[in-house]
Amino acid sequence: MASAIRRLGPAGALLVVLLAVGCRSPFGVFRPAGPEAGTLSQIGWFLVALMSVTTLVMGFLIVVGALRRRGELDEHAPIDEGGGKGWILVGGLAIPVVVLAGLFGLTVATLGDAPGEETAGDPAVTIEVTAHQWWWEVQYRDSLISRRFTTANEIHVPVDRNVEIRLTSADVIHSFWVPRLHGKLDAIPGQTNRLVLQASEPGVYSGECAEYCGVQHANMRFLVVAEPLDEYRRWAERQRQPARTPEDSTLARGREAFMQHACAMCHRVRGTPARGAVGPDLTHFGSRRTLAAATYPNRTAPLHAWIVDAQSLKPGVKMPSMDQFDGRTLRALAAYLQSLK
Ligand code: CUA
């Protein structure tokens, strides 16, 4: 990668960076997939257009000034004779005041239109999201307590429905952001902020923490999986089930390792004695796409590495490096976790 960039030269490298952060990025603000993100992206395009025009006009004036330059500096009239005052008053004061005031009005009006406490009707799903250093706890509400369930770092929502997110934090201030679906909203300890989001097309949308919250802020990501309503319902129904007790001897060995070591003190697996509440609920861990808050794919090799040496993969995380297992036990433990679908 590095040598490829060296061959491209600075201009080529810049192009690569622009392409990498550009429209195809899963974080593409300019590829909205929901009504609220759509409005925000309109403002974004408007700003891009406005700033481009400003840049062009300024560039043009600079070129004109450079070409019309005559003589030496000390030949020119001293500054207090009023030369160019009109330019300063109009170009430096009047136009910026009008433009910036207009933008302020536009932004405030758009924010006011975002679905809030009083609009958006009855949400199809209400989800309580609690930010932790550095992962997301996701609780699905239901009027029946027995139908509530908890998961982490992966939020499933039905397409084309209003989904209410009730956002809070367990420690410091974080910010919940899925660029393709909505604007940022702070997660504040002791306060519940409300956000209504809607995905117009099925897909997996990347989200991230958008407020610096400690050393692993950059690795506090999550996914929003939008699926058709019946698919979403099937997913929710599976998530409500407790974990099955494995019959396979390897999985049973893995389960035993989980229950007898520190894992069970920090993590919950519904249907087992593991009731920890420090880390993510792992009842259906095997059904998730990622681990360590969307930092690594949920596959065998990263999972082994995560169990053995979480502190190297995500320094500062509360998960200790569990290096006490022999190879066989480690493989069984990982297989057990992956079997929790
Ligand atoms: Cu949580 Cu940044």
Q: Give the confidence band of 43 by pLDDT, cuts at 50, 70, 90.
A: confident
Q: Are strands 149-152 and 154-158 parallel, antiparallel or unpaired?
A: unpaired
pLDDT for the residue numbered 214? 94
Neighbours of 246 (CB within 10 A): 17
For 272-326, strand residue ranges (E) read 290-291, 296-297
Instruction: State the distance from the centre of ligand 1 to the C-alpha of 133, rounded, in angstroms.
Output: 7
Instruction: State the distance from the centre of ligand 1 to the C-alpha of 317, rounded, in angstroms.
Output: 12
pLDDT for the residue numbered 27? 65
Half-sphere exposure of 102 (CA within 13 A, CB side): 10
Give me the chain's average pLDDT, please: 87
Residue by residue, DSSP assigns 178-189 as -TTT---EEE-B
Whether ligand 1 lies within 6 angstroms of the CB of 293 is answered as: no
Q: How far is CA 168 from CA 58, 127, 178, 191, 210, in A?
A: 45, 11, 16, 6, 14
Give SS3 for 220.
Answer: coil
pLDDT 10s digits, 176-213: 999 999 888 999 999 999 988 899 999 999 999 999 99
pLDDT 10s digits, 18-27: 555 555 566 6
Q: Which atom of ligand 1 is nearest to the CA of 218?
A: 2
Q: What is the spatial order of strands in the sheet that 149-152 belongs to?
A: 149-152, 135-140, 125-132, 163-169, 193-197
Give percent above pLDDT 70 in the chain.
86
Q: Give the confidence band of 130 by pLDDT, cuts at 50, 70, 90.
A: very high
Whether ligand 1 lies within 6 angstroms of the CB of 217 is answered as: yes
Q: Give the confidence band of 28 by pLDDT, cuts at 50, 70, 90.
A: confident
Interacting residues of 323 by C-beta distance below 8 A, sequence separation 6+: 308, 309
Give yes or no for residue 149 having a pLDDT over 90. Answer: yes
The protein residue whose alpha carbon is closest to atom 1 in ligand 1 is: 174
Strand pairing partners for 205? 224
Is 207:223 a contact under the CB 8 Å cutoff?
A: yes
The residue-averaged pLDDT of 277-301 equals 94
Instruction: State the distance from the centre of ligand 1 to the C-alpha of 221, rounded, in angstroms.
Output: 9
Q: Give the confidence band of 237 by pLDDT, cuts at 50, 70, 90.
A: very high
Chain centre distance of CA 176: 6
Instruction: State the distance from the centre of ligand 1 to the C-alpha of 42, rounded, in angstroms.
Output: 27
The residue-averaged pLDDT of 231-239 equals 95
Chain centre distance of CA 335: 29
Phi and psi based region of residue 81 (left: phi greater than 0; alpha: psi -120 to 50; beta: remaining): alpha
Q: Give the confidence band of 120 by pLDDT, cuts at 50, 70, 90.
A: low
* Nearest Cα to Cα of residue 220 among 319, 304, 317: 317
Is 286:341 a contact under the CB 8 Å cutoff?
A: yes
Neighbours of 329 (CB within 10 A): 15
Supply the angle between the helices 249-260 and 327-339 in degrees, to the nearest 10: 100
Q: Give the confidence band of 109 by pLDDT, cuts at 50, 70, 90.
A: confident
pTM of the model: 0.82
Highest averaged pLDDT of the listed ranges 24-28, 40-44, 67-71, 223-227? 223-227
Whether ligand 1 lies within 6 angstroms of the CB of 209 is answered as: yes
- Rounded CA gap, 135 and 171, in Å? 11
pLDDT for the residue numbered 226? 96
pLDDT for the residue numbered 3? 57
Q: Are strands 185-187 and 221-227 parallel, antiparallel or unpaired?
A: unpaired
Q: Where are the alpha helices (DSSP H) in 214-326?
A: 229-240, 249-260, 263-266, 300-313
pLDDT 10s digits, 290-327: 999 999 999 999 999 999 999 999 999 999 999 889 99
Max CA-CA distance within the chain?
95
Whether ligand 1 lies within 6 angstroms of the CB of 129 is answered as: no
Instruction: State the distance from the centre of ligand 1 to the C-alpha of 170, rounded, in angstroms.
Output: 12
pLDDT for the residue numbered 185? 92
Name which of 75-79, 178-182, 243-247 the model is least confident about: 75-79
